[in-house]
């Protein structure tokens, strides 16, 4: 291997490492905020029907980890008003399964989500209506 090849490969590796550090640091919102701080700015539209009922249920059962208005909480849980949770990637059924069975950590570094006891299917429907309403109001379709 020539000196030129070694320098080129070393430079390419360095660029890849720097890029990975920048990418992962930018995606770990907990690194940039203090514990418990909200991770996203969420516009809340006027709510009615199931979404309005879901807001109250979300506040009681989900906000401790997922933050007020599903904005996420540093050190606790991810924002649900985020493109990762758009319906095409996480269908409504994913929310039902998450509540009933919990979720293994996969998109974020908050750890596993435990199952949430005492939340009925009707409650989850209202919570999903609330989260989807927030998502649409914030450009997530």
Domain ranges of the chain: 3-32, 49-137
- Report pLDDT digits (tens) over 64-101: 999 999 999 999 999 999 999 999 999 999 999 999 99
Per-residue model confidence as pLDDT tens for the chain (141 residues): 776 654 444 444 444 434 433 333 344 443 446 778 999 999 999 999 999 999 999 999 999 999 999 999 999 999 999 999 999 999 999 999 999 999 999 999 999 999 999 999 999 999 999 999 999 999 999
CA 96 and chain centroid, separation: 16
CB atoms within 10 A of CB 51: 21
Q: Which residues fall within 8 angstroms of residue 30, CB to CB, at 6 or more apart? A: 39, 74, 75, 109, 110
Ramachandran category for residue 114: left, alpha or beta (phi over 0 → left; psi -120 to 50 → alpha): beta
| Domain 49-137, CATH among 2.20.25.570, 3.90.1280.10, 3.40.470.10, 1.10.760.10 | 1.10.760.10
């Amino acid at each position: 291997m020539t000196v030129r090849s070694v320098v080129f490969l070393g430079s390419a590796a360095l660029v890849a490492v720097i890029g990975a550090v920048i990418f992962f640091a930018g995606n770990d919102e907990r690194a940039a905020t203090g514990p418990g701080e909200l991770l996203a700015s969420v516009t809340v539209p006027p709510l009615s029907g199931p979404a309005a009922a879901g807001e109250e249920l979300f506040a009681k059962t989900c906000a401790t980890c997922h933050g007020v208005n599903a904005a996420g909480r540093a050190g606790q849980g991810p924002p649900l008003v985020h493109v990762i949770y758009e319906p095409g990637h996480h269908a409504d059924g994913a929310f039902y399964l998450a509540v009933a069975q919990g979720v293994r950590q996969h998109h974020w570094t908050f750890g596993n989500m435990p199952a949430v006891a005492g939340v009925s299917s009707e409650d989850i429907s209202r919570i999903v209506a609330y989260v989807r309403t927030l998502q649409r109001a914030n450009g997530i379709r």
